[in-house]
Structure 1
């Protein structure tokens, strides 16, 4: 895929960042998996690392552009943020040594389990019994105890934290808009140490445009397409009905898993 083609995909990355809080992970991983398929056993590692870089930059832009009243839902959640960062660092470090097949199929299995969970348990598409009356649009939040597991899995597979944080915030009573918006600052916290681990790792893949485990050429093209979309849409977030928003999240989740499985 040429630079222009990756830029067009970057527009989709920007849309998913704003609308679903994915930060690009569920688009970037499948696309990089296809683009760098000729790297063989290193493909999944490069896809995860490059996705982490794309998500980090997108999360920074999206967070800076987010309304302060929305970000206020994270006020006082320092332990959660600290543990997410620790998990992100540990997951990225572990990803350096994991077999390629484990990373690829781990991504697919992770998405499959999440999809089944979203359909089987109440609270994502329909109100759950634990969502009490009087809970604000930000819900009750995520327990800090989940920080390391969320951060570790997100950076290990390069998917970002939204696949866990969005459903968890939904079940705590948050609206889709708030849950997907807050997924960006949470992704920022996870991916900052993850990218640091990645770029300081010794270069091991000899291919044009690859630095360490990062495909900088593809990352640059995706970001050129994504950043303008994020800046424009984050200031004027589209109004989407809750149920449509939730099903859109689910469909994109399944699509990403299928693409990686087939690649």
Structure 2
């Protein structure tokens, strides 16, 4: 049952990666955290490291999802180069800072930070103009100095084990891009976060006193990663035909609805 759920939720991460730009964290972190706590308990070394394991495995899955989804969107013509660089470089710098900070934080601190992060993002999307609706005549504008905010995006995203799409998508959306374009570019912008987070969690786990077992590289649960990755590839194939076909307003509302669902799930865990 455990592996079946991982496969199904892996498939879901593939769908969300292609259609909404977040390829792992919003699904994998709550799911894996709850499963590890249920199967090992709070006194077991794995249970005590459950949030760190969930975040580390999430960033690893994001590498697969972001790479494949980026290729799909590149072929669909949804990527715009000048929005990707140098914003991606700043995100990469922030990702290193966030990964190191997360290693020294308590698991519960990360979980509550995750919930607060989602709540602020949901309110921002609902009440600040420019996310849910856009004028048809809106002309996209360049990021300008806002690209420096990539350092903060990378740090927060890696600290929480998410790709940063809940910050990059609203940012690009308010630059006048459609939901399809903004969510498409969230995938390549997630790669610096995924790579920095995964490598840091693999390396830094050796400084802890826990021996998590043979199926772990650092904090990354290798078996869970493989199952999730296989499921995500299936999900990406299923979602690809829908690229660019969802009405912009519907796309925006569903995006916010998914964030609400995940936040409630984390609050109840």
User: Which stretch of structure 1 is more off in the superposition, 34-43 or 96-105?
Assistant: 34-43
Tell whether the 8 Å contact from 2:83 to 2:143 is kept in structure 1 after alignment.
Answer: no
SS at match of 2:226: helix
Tell whether the 8 Å contact from 1:33 to 1:260 is kept in structure 2 after alignment.
Answer: no
Superposed, 1:95-244 pairs within 5 Å as 95-127=102-134, 133=137, 135-136=139-140, 140-141=142-143, 143-203=146-206, 204=208, 205-208=210-213, 209-231=215-237, 233-234=239-240, 237=243, 239-244=245-250
Q: CA deviation at 1:67?
A: 2.3
2 CA distance for matches of 1:123 and 1:78?
23
RMSD: 2.1
Is the alpha carbon distance of 1:56 and 1:2 closer, same or farther for their aligned partners in structure 2, counting shifts above 3 Å?
A: same
Tell whether the 8 Å contact from 1:140 to 1:173 is kept in structure 2 after alignment.
Answer: no
Tell whether the 8 Å contact from 1:10 to 1:222 is kept in structure 2 after alignment.
Answer: yes
SS at match of 1:23: coil
TM-score, with structure 1 as normaliser: 0.90
- For residue 71 of structure 2, the aligned residue among 53, 60, 64 is 64
Tell whether the 8 Å contact from 2:84 to 2:185 is kept in structure 1 after alignment.
Answer: no
2 CA distance for matches of 1:57 and 1:77?
19
Q: CA deviation at 1:178?
A: 0.5
Tell whether the 8 Å contact from 1:66 to 1:235 is kept in structure 2 after alignment.
Answer: no
2 CA distance for matches of 1:118 and 1:233?
24
TM-score, with structure 2 as normaliser: 0.88
Q: CA deviation at 1:229?
A: 2.6
Does 2:236 match 1:257?
no
Stretches of structure 2 that go unaligned for 5 or more consecutive residues are none
Determine the structure 2 residue equivalent to 1:22: 22
Tell whether the 8 Å contact from 1:46 to 1:213 is kept in structure 2 after alignment.
Answer: yes
Q: CA deviation at 1:228?
A: 2.8
Task: Give per-residue Cα distances to partners, 1:187-206, cap 9 Å, x unaligned.
Answer: 01222222121222243443
Determine the structure 1 residue equivalent to 2:34: 34
Q: CA deviation at 1:231?
A: 4.1
Superposed, 1:70-89 pairs within 5 Å as 70-71=78-79, 73-75=80-82, 77-89=84-96
Q: CA deviation at 1:230?
A: 1.6
Q: CA deviation at 1:219?
A: 1.5
Q: CA deviation at 1:144?
A: 1.6
Is the alpha carbon distance of 1:210 and 1:262 closer, same or farther for their aligned partners in structure 2, counting shifts above 3 Å?
A: farther
Q: Give the total of aligned pairs.
A: 257
Q: CA deviation at 1:213?
A: 1.0
2 CA distance for matches of 1:236 and 1:245?
11
